[in-house]
A and B are shown apart, each in its own frame.
Chain A
């Protein structure tokens, strides 16, 4: 009956009333949601608030539980070595002497160098894809970048061993030793496998993550900003630099932090190329080690309570390093973003 009425009514009238009704209900939902917590009246909204609140709270709960459990398991090592664990260079399971410094060094240096290499390139890719590329390039290229992010790390590792490392050993490292050999970073026997291979593998692995997330962020910037900048006589470069990038900076920071997280926690590919040697050396040619790799390598066969506790403490440190680097990255962007934003952001 109703159906018949609808079809009989004027063809423009029906959709209009539908749209406006939907619009009104959306408006009322919006206003009820934007009320302060105390004044939520609708019981369904209250339930929604609680359900989502609990879901968000679970993250904190899980995080807290993991931290507590890790502290409990590593207590033996924390008691035995104290703060010395963080600064000792010695890791010797035979003597039951453990120190984390070479692993911390390897993790932080390899991740930060990888980030330094990957971020400019990833931003270039993102800007090209979001702002400059013609449509027929944008889609397939964007798809390929995302495909790169889906390659399993063991494949990157194998490629590192059989392609990247020999190339570094035969071509890149001898060249660097010849031209920049006076620097302490490019000294020693060129072996291919080592810190440099680890940095390059990590850079390649985090590149697609940073690039594709940054592209999404750039694409979300309202086009009015671009039009405004262009209307004021800005070139394309000025438009990107002064209008688009500043308003996308927090999203790009998010992309960088995602990449950093992957670099810090990457285990398989790194352990396959970094040389797995607990040593601190300035030279990029020398082998190094990372926190995640040593845990993966030694945990399965570790026996002895102190040994296991020390390995768990490495996990705790990795957790701490991740938190500290995230905070530093946020502070950095916050400070850098503050100065030039005055003109660009508004």
Chain B
């Protein structure tokens, strides 16, 4: 039976390659785009007959397009909501493929040392309760750093973004105040501060405004050589953000059946607390067997060989305990009731 399947699939793939290239269309999250873009060009070298095309139109757009069936795969930072899942005509899988962290950057005149922040102080600043850099709560956890009396200017993302979703999810976990007064989402009503459009907008705000503090993706802070704060995790250690600390945060958690999991404020001693998975969205049953097979193969490559490109771009590779679960999901992808990936 399985021989027959392989034979039919082989025939399909052969037919596709006879027709020329298989073009696979994806759309969604902007946050993992640099990595996806690298994957596309690398995969082209491995599998020249498959052309993967990805448009970074935002997670919301990715979810809309996969629901409408206009793309072969979608991508999102925050898992689909129950309301969105209810709109799907057939089951959609969330496949975690990479990890990213959100860092806190600042511009404090005269301070070059890396600042330390506790969850309480961070939420206090973003709630507008701590308004000056020389506040006792800040100087208390940063002994030896002389902080000026500059007023704090909070910088947030004005556009809806997965980065905001991760950051607010973390703040809601560590602060009851934040949870009840602001909440979690891609766009929230920030109590104080100025909004910048995109990572580059927040980068611009932080760079040009003395006294500014904002949240960014790790890669942006590194490229722009902005200082990043180390954050105290649940175990009480101050952790500087890095791909390793992010993978560590994702390791050793309970893994739910749909693979959608929050890794903010995790338990490990080496965990950086503000991090998240980025997901690829695919239908369990592909409409087009040729494209379905191409997507499944591409994703299989991405979670194995593709992982080595992550760290250089400041994304974190998938942890070892999560990988088998993603493999199992990929192996259950079907087209016309037939399994697409049959390898061991």
Contact = CB atoms under 8 A, between A and B. Distances in A.
B285 interface: no
Contacts of B280: none
Interface stretch (B42-50, B105-113, B182-190): B182-190
Contacts of A277: 190, 193-195
Contacts of A90: 189
Interface string A76-108: 000000000000001111110000000000000
A189 interface: yes
A166 interface: yes
Given A189-B151, A301-B60, A94 B188 contact: yes
A42 interface: no
Nearest to B172: A94
Residue of A162, A272, A293, A300 ringed by the most chain B CB atoms within 10 A: A300
B28 to A, nearest CB: 10
Interface residues of B, number: 36
A277 B189 CA distance: 9
Given A165-B208, A193-B209, A271 B158 contact: yes
Interface string A194-209: 1000000000000000
B29 to A, nearest CB: 9
Nearest to A294: B158
Contacts of B264: none
A91 B209 contact: no
A165 B187 CA distance: 25
Contacts of A191: 153, 194, 209
Given A94-B183, A193-B194, A276-B195, A301 B159 contact: yes
Given A91-B189, A94-B183, A193-B209, A302 B197 contact: no
Contacts of A162: 204, 208
A43 interface: no
Contact of B187 (A192, A194, A287, A298): A298
B83 A93 contact: no
If over half of A's interface residues share one DSSP class (helix, strand or loop), that class is named, otherwise mixed; here it is loop
A276 B84 contact: no
B63 interface: yes
Interface residues of A, number: 33
B58 A301 contact: yes
Given A276-B158, A276-B197, A303 B183 contact: no
Contacts of A275: 194-195
Contacts of A293: 158
A67 B37 CA distance: 39
Residue of B59, B188, B190, B205 ringed by the most chain A CB atoms within 10 A: B205
B63 A300 contact: no
A165 B186 CA distance: 27
A27 interface: no
A298 B159 contact: yes
B58 A300 contact: yes
A234 interface: no
Nearest to A307: B187
Interface of A: 90-95, 161-162, 165-166, 169, 189, 191-194, 271-272, 275-278, 287, 289, 293, 296-298, 300-304
8 contacts: A93-B187, A165-B209, A194-B194, A296-B197, A297-B160, A300-B58, A301-B161, A304-B81
4 smallest CB-CB distances across A and B, nearest first, come from: A301-B160, A276-B195, A276-B158, A94-B183
Given A296-B159, A302-B160, 9 more contacts: A92-B188, A94-B182, A94-B188, A94-B189, A193-B209, A272-B197, A276-B195, A276-B197, A302-B187
